[in-house]
Structure 1
Amino acid sequence: MSAFSYFERASVFADAAKDGRPIYALTPGELEGEDLDEGAREWVRANGFKAKSGEFLPVPGAGGVLAAALLGLGDAPKDAPFVTGSLAQRLPEGNWYLAAGDVEVHAAALGFSLGSYRFDRFKSAPETKARLCPPDGSERAELDRQTAGVFLARDLVNLPTNHMGPEALEDAFRRLGAHYGANVSVTSGDALLDENFPMIHAVGRAGAEAPRLLDMRWGRTGAPKVTLVGKGVCFDTGGLDIKPPSSMLLMKKDMGGAANVMGLALMVMDAGLDVDLRVLVPAVENAIAGNAFRPSDILTSRKGLTVQIDNTDAEGRLVLADALALACEETPDLLIDMATLTGAARVALGPDVAPFYTHDTALAGALSAASEAEHDPLWRMPLVAAYDDMLTTKVADITNAPSGGFAGSITAALFLNRFVEPGTRWAHFDIYGWNPKAKPHAPVGGEAQGIRALYRVLRERYGEA
């Protein structure tokens, strides 16, 4: 698998095509079909196997030796494209191949690969020993590449903050850059003030580890400029507007935007796309101390806009604003930011569907098409111009937390829009970055959202150098 060593995973794919035992992925209506011999059909009937989605049944052969496996697809297999993910943990050691089934070749193989993930940094987990022979028509390198990017994002989010604070995130960022020969620079501590990143400094200055801006550059000079910005709030107490304990339990994942853009950057660099790539991650901890920024403070941003702080728990948009302003100074051809930004996005679309915002209709169409093709759920939300007035405040150019509670995800996007230069091809993703319940291809925990769809758009637009 193409990944830097800190997050390396052994590939789950066998080298020899169809050198192994068969997997029959079947709908209920196919149980009596010609793909199964009479002995297997009798075994199905004896075990009450109904081919419900995700249902699994080992099939013995002569002498009781395991000869095959059955996987239920349910009545609507296209509604569960990664149902094969459960096989990575359930199949015994050895090589397996998909012998039959109404499944997409790429999705079936990718689901199996993604389903092999386990976060075992602090607790041992069984090693995945089952290997899948890549189906005909699948691209082994692409499967490994996408799996590596997703696993990187999952690992980063899953690590608790005492193992993934700003310093550790910088280390992971540098390791990623070094693996692909990228140039990495870091602006840290009071140097943020010297270099005019005042809001990144303000949000992170109360943390035990200094706030910093991570900056990675890779690719061909003169190629289209693609800039990725990821929110790297390694823990969010809420600041002086402190969160209740129940709301703090998952706040290690508040750097999910950073984790996702790093996973996407891995895919882009590993594929050798013809881009001039830049990755920006403001890495901070929103902590509480005597020097913490306060409600009613007024901050002057890198862009020069003044921001009234009406809630210190709306900190992610502040660090992103300085990073977006920096990104726009180079006039990128495409600017993407990703952030675990608002609870309002979860209320609107739940944990599995990531909303995105853009003024660019063509980009929105490409993202929506890629979302459907890659089974990577995205949904375009509107940048409602009339709601921009909600950001108005009497004593500064803009507030970071509009009152009233309406349209929280939209107003957060509109806030960021103020720091993006007009005419920039830009998209903002308000992701959750977490699976609250297990799926066939993903356990409970950190998750990559939107980056497989984004990678498809980038690959189609820019291809290899």
Structure 2
Amino acid sequence: MSGSRLPSISLARTVPADADVVVVGIAPGPAGGVLLGVPADVEKSVTRQLGRPLLALARSLGAEAKLGTATVVPGPGDLRIVLTGLPSADATPEQVRRAAGTGVRTAAGVSGAAGLRIAVSLDAVEPEVIRGAAEGALLGAYRYQKQTASPEPAAVGALTIVSASGKAEARQAVSTAVIIAEAVCAARDWINLPANLLYPESFADDARTRAKAARIGVEVLDETQLRKEGYGGLLAVGGGSSHPPRLVRYSYAPRGARFHLALVGKGITFDSGGLDLKTPEGMYTMKCDMSGAAAVLAATRAIADLGLKISITAYACLAENLPSGTAYRPSDVLTIHGGKTVENANSDAEGRLVMADGLARSNADDADLVVDIATLTGACMVALGLRTAGLMASDDLTADRVLDAAESAGELFWQLPIPEEIGDGLKSSVADLRSSSTKRYGGALTAAAFLREFVDPDRSWAHLDIAGPAFNDGEAYDYVPTGGTGFGVRTLIALATALAS
């Protein structure tokens, strides 16, 4: 799998002498702002060589104390200074994460940048803030290695997080950040791969390879096993493609674990809409429709690497949705794993069918909590936009657990309801239920109500609809690149961390 190469990262008390760029902060304050993390010798050198204090020079070049902004300022010698905006001198870990990402991404975007040695100096002292700076820097440095005969050198070669803290907790914060960033970037790499290179079999092979160096058990069901065990959703959705479906099952069960978390991810490696064909414009980015599967696989590997005392069972439901003579049809009746039947209403509402198989299979694991994650509905994007994901859950306690984890991770979720009447549109005269509602409105809520039908009624369950933030087809911002974002990975890791404690 061709993908990204993350730079090395270290922790230091001072800016290394060989640094090419130093990223510092600018926050609101008197006289146009206050600078954060600027080494005294650098500030003196700028004043001496350029005849103006660094803050005055930065303000004249348009530097703002605002998240998402960054200004490149010449420093002494060949050193470049990037001033990244912060909303406060006492910024939160997520604000520092965003500022570090913006600063590093801006430095990496300078013309001719290659192998840069970047120091991030934002006055980070507390472990969580140090971790935020390290995660933001690593994620901001991400560049997907495009498919080419002439690979370009990485823009960022090495990162240094500058902090006055030399405690073991500070070093551990950086180590944790590396594991989390690697997981997010692994998900980004999978999402960014074109569908002719990432399809169910190759995705399953990559997933098996990624688990080898960790204490993760792997099981992959091929089309023969799926047929034998009655996975009618996966077989139907994948039936139109020459690349047959797969179900990947990860299991991580460390000694001493007292909580069992099951994760189910949607893995449609390409979604044409099937016989209910999408428009060309609507189809172009549909290599990203496996973002949920990428998230659960990458998060499970990170949870194992972190050594968290929690049992994880993760399912990646992999299929390619294409039209052909063997494709499933609207009005077909499918038998999902476990025996429940579904009248297919729309072949472009395929994700819920493969997820139904995964959720039904997870019931046998007897997990304490089941979380599914999917790029499931355009309706959720209409409701919440492109940067906020939807959350629906079996109960408010479960929802609060996920929301707390998301806040800790710095990812945006908003809880939506599953009203009692929303399921009325799923009634079918020819099967146990329809896959889509007969009614137009509340599509995201209806999809969640459908999925709930395949989870044991007494099971704690949360559904994450990440259709909006999973893929960014606009300009990069903060630590978020254009293309696959890896959204959801950090929330799943934060949830596992909280449940393991």
For 1:138-168, what per-residue CA distance to the aligned partner results, in whole angstroms no more than 9, with x for missing partners? 4011100110111011111110110100111
In structure 2, distance between residues paired with 1:194 and 1:50: 61
Distance 1:303 1:152, change over 3 A: same
The 3-state SS of whatever aligns with 2:365 is: coil
* C-alpha contact 2:10 2:174 (8 A) present in aligned 1: no
* Aligned-pair CA distance for 1:216: 1.8
In structure 2, distance between residues paired with 1:130 and 1:90: 15
Where do residues 253-264 of structure 1 align in structure 2 (5 Å cutoff)? 253-264=288-299
The 3-state SS of whatever aligns with 2:10 is: coil
Aligned to 1:236: 271
1:395 maps to a residue whose letter is V
Aligned to 1:14: 10
Q: TM-score, normalised by structure 1?
A: 0.90
* Aligned-pair CA distance for 1:97: 3.9
The 3-state SS of whatever aligns with 1:156 is: helix
Distance 1:434 1:200, change over 3 A: same
Aligned to 2:50: none
Aligned residue-pair number: 457
In structure 1, distance between residues paired with 2:117 and 2:7: 13
* Aligned-pair CA distance for 1:29: 2.6
* Aligned-pair CA distance for 1:94: 2.7
In structure 1, distance between residues paired with 2:62 and 2:487: 37
Q: TM-score, normalised by structure 2?
A: 0.84
The 3-state SS of whatever aligns with 2:319 is: strand
Q: 93-102 vs 368-377, which deviates more? A: 93-102
In structure 1, distance between residues paired with 2:282 and 2:386: 15
* C-alpha contact 1:109 1:134 (8 A) present in aligned 2: no
1:26 maps to a residue whose letter is I
In structure 1, distance between residues paired with 2:318 and 2:59: 57
Tell me if 1:114 matches 2:151. no
Aligned to 2:301: 266
* Aligned-pair CA distance for 1:99: 5.1
1:96 maps to a residue whose letter is A
Aligned to 2:235: 201
1:189 maps to a residue whose letter is E
The 3-state SS of whatever aligns with 2:440 is: coil
The 3-state SS of whatever aligns with 1:280 is: strand
Distance 1:18 1:419, change over 3 A: same
Aligned to 2:161: 133
1:83 maps to a residue whose letter is A
Where do residues 315-354 of structure 1 align in structure 2 (5 Å cutoff)? 315-354=350-389
Tell me if 1:447 matches 2:485. yes
* C-alpha contact 1:354 1:449 (8 A) present in aligned 2: no
* C-alpha contact 1:370 1:457 (8 A) present in aligned 2: yes
* C-alpha contact 1:205 1:292 (8 A) present in aligned 2: yes
* Aligned-pair CA distance for 1:44: 3.2
Aligned to 1:434: 471
Tell me if 1:85 matches 2:101. yes
The 3-state SS of whatever aligns with 1:24 is: strand
Q: 182-191 vs 17-26, which deviates more? A: 17-26
Q: 280-289 vs 40-49, which deviates more? A: 40-49
For 1:150-199, what per-residue CA distance to the aligned partner results, in whole angstroms no more than 9, with x for missing partners? 10111111101101001111111101221213221222123312112122
* Aligned-pair CA distance for 1:85: 0.9
* C-alpha contact 1:435 1:443 (8 A) present in aligned 2: yes
For 1:422-459, what per-residue CA distance to the aligned partner results, in whole angstroms no more than 9, with x for missing partners? 11111111112111321121221011223212211211
Distance 1:391 1:222, change over 3 A: farther
In structure 2, distance between residues paired with 1:94 and 1:292: 52
Q: 99-108 vs 51-60, which deviates more? A: 99-108
* C-alpha contact 1:59 1:68 (8 A) present in aligned 2: yes
For 1:98-152, what per-residue CA distance to the aligned partner results, in whole angstroms no more than 9, with x for missing partners? 1548994432332111101111131544411252225336401110011011101
Q: 406-415 vs 268-277, which deviates more? A: 268-277
In structure 1, distance between residues paired with 2:182 and 2:364: 31
Distance 1:240 1:32, change over 3 A: closer
Q: 30-39 vs 144-153, which deviates more? A: 30-39
* Aligned-pair CA distance for 1:206: 1.8
Q: 2:394 aligns with which of 352, 359, 363?
A: 359
Aligned to 1:219: 253
Distance 1:426 1:65, change over 3 A: same
Aligned to 1:43: 57
Which aligned runs of 4 or more in structure 1 are off by greater than 6 angstroms? 75-79
For 1:228-282, what per-residue CA distance to the aligned partner results, in whole angstroms no more than 9, with x for missing partners? 1111111111111111111111111111110111121122111111222211112
Q: 436-445 vs 36-45, which deviates more? A: 36-45
In structure 2, distance between residues paired with 1:361 and 1:155: 34
Q: 1:276 aligns with which of 311, 315, 329?
A: 311
Distance 1:382 1:32, change over 3 A: closer
* Aligned-pair CA distance for 1:74: 5.6
Q: 1:418 aligns with which of 448, 453, 469?
A: 453
Distance 1:359 1:297, change over 3 A: same
The 3-state SS of whatever aligns with 1:269 is: helix
The 3-state SS of whatever aligns with 2:371 is: strand
Distance 1:455 1:27, change over 3 A: same
In structure 1, distance between residues paired with 2:479 and 2:66: 17
Q: 340-349 vs 351-360, which deviates more? A: 351-360
* C-alpha contact 1:119 1:155 (8 A) present in aligned 2: yes
In structure 2, distance between residues paired with 1:301 and 1:161: 26
In structure 1, distance between residues paired with 2:338 and 2:442: 25
* C-alpha contact 1:6 1:175 (8 A) present in aligned 2: no
Q: 2:226 aligns with which of 169, 185, 192?
A: 192
Q: 1:305 aligns with which of 333, 340, 344?
A: 340
In structure 2, distance between residues paired with 1:272 and 1:102: 25
Gaps of 5+ in 1: none
In structure 1, distance between residues paired with 2:446 and 2:290: 20
Tell me if 1:368 matches 2:403. yes
Distance 1:181 1:374, change over 3 A: closer
* C-alpha contact 1:58 1:66 (8 A) present in aligned 2: no
Tell me if 1:182 matches 2:195. no
In structure 2, distance between residues paired with 1:419 and 1:426: 11
In structure 2, distance between residues paired with 1:133 and 1:454: 25
The 3-state SS of whatever aligns with 2:295 is: helix
Distance 1:310 1:14, change over 3 A: same
Superposition CA RMSD, Å: 2.6
1:116 maps to a residue whose letter is A
Distance 1:58 1:323, change over 3 A: same
In structure 2, distance between residues paired with 1:364 and 1:148: 27
The 3-state SS of whatever aligns with 1:238 is: coil
* C-alpha contact 2:11 2:174 (8 A) present in aligned 1: no
Q: 1:73 aligns with which of 52, 61, 86?
A: 86
Tell me if 1:169 matches 2:203. yes
